[in-house]
Structure 1
Amino acid sequence: MNVVGHGIDLVEVAALRRWIEDPRDPLVPRCFTADELAEIGDGPDRIERIAGRFAAKEAVLKALGTGFGDGVAFKDVVVRRKPGGPPEVVLSGGAALAAQGLGVTGWRLSISHAGGMAIASAIALVDAAHAAVPPAGPR
């Protein structure tokens, strides 16, 4: 596997809480699928989990070089986690098209929370057999 992109994002949990609680901008239903919200669940650390998933979505799109907008929606990036397993990236829509254009065949995603912050790092991988071979330069 070869790395074709890397993205990292840092989210202040308190700032995200204020954004979520702002009735003028319904962040949660705009950014997360019903399945993601069910997996995030409730409880005292719900906001931290939302912040980590939000940072992960941003990191994935940075790895793709797209950001949100121009045909890429927040819900085009879904972050799932099976019990005891690492977080997984599932793309659709514009994000899937961008990944396909880069030849992305896999992801490595890490999410962490500490000190009122959530951070995520996303690495986009391409299969070495399908990686573009750079042209030979002068010797």
Structure 2
Amino acid sequence: MAEAGIGVDIVEISRFESILKKNPAFIQKMFTDEERSYCQASARPAAHYACRFAAREAVLKALGTGFGQGVGRCDVSVSRDDRGKPHAVLTGGAERVARDLGVVEVVISLSFTSDLAVANAMAIPADARPKPRPSKEDDRARIARSFKDARFVLDELERVQVQEDVSIDSDRLVEE
């Protein structure tokens, strides 16, 4: 049974502000095109870069490794789903490490203040993944089945009542 792993990292945003000014090539080397587009489009690019850097470190801590050991600087990145929720993208050495550990998903949470960026990561193996909740359609189907069963019972009671009424009426005719 594989174990879930957790990781957290905190980065000073002022560090990234300095890096952006002094060494813009660092941003080109460290971040994907998608990450750079997202960060540059924000009001505080340094804060978003710092969050993504913290996310890389947190993910590697959750996997129990660091840079090196076959894991490159761009093997972990941050993308966003259709609703804007960030998620970790693993490639290369990070993907290999996760697969070897039985990790099927790495969940992340990012946040920042005026001074600090923080990221949390949880590496989840298949056997520790929460079971999916029943979908609304499952609930609807269950409710519809319940109403259908109730209707059947009511129809059956009505049929029995009609048979008893007919039986009582035919008994009266026989007596007269």
The two structures share one fold, judged by TM-score above 0.5: yes
Letter of the 1:76 counterpart:
D
TM-score by length of 1: 0.82
Structure 1 runs (4+) deviating above 6 angstroms are none
The TM-score, its normalising length taken from structure 2, stands at: 0.66
**Structure with greater helix share of residues:** 2
User: Kindly tell me: are residues 107 and 55 of structure 1, through their superposed partners in 2, closer, same or farther at Cα, counting changes over 3 Å?
Assistant: same
Partner of 1:70: helix, strand, or coil?
coil
3-state SS of paired residue (1:7): strand
1:101 aligns with 2:111: no
Residue 16 (structure 1) aligns with = 16
- Give the drift of 1:3: 5.3
RMSD: 2.1
Partner of 1:124: 123
Query: Between the two proteins, what is the percent identity of the paired residues?
Result: 38
Q: Counting strand residues as a fraction of each chain, which structure ranks higher?
A: 1
What is the one-letter code of the residue matched to 1:11?
V
- The answer to whether residue 10 in structure 2 is matched with residue 6 in structure 1 is no
Whole-angstrom distance in 1 between the partners of 2:106 and 2:96: 15
Structure 2: where are the runs of 5+ without partners? 130-176
Measured after TM superposition, the shift of residue 58 of structure 1 is 0.8
Higher RCO (Cα < 8 Å, 6 or more apart):
1
Query: Cα deviations across residues 21-73 of structure 1 (Å, max 9, x unaligned)?
Result: 333x8321121111221232334311111111110011001111111123211
Of structures 1 and 2, the larger Rg is shown by 2
Aligned residues: 128
Note the residue ranges of structure 1 that are not aligned, 5 or more in a row: 131-139
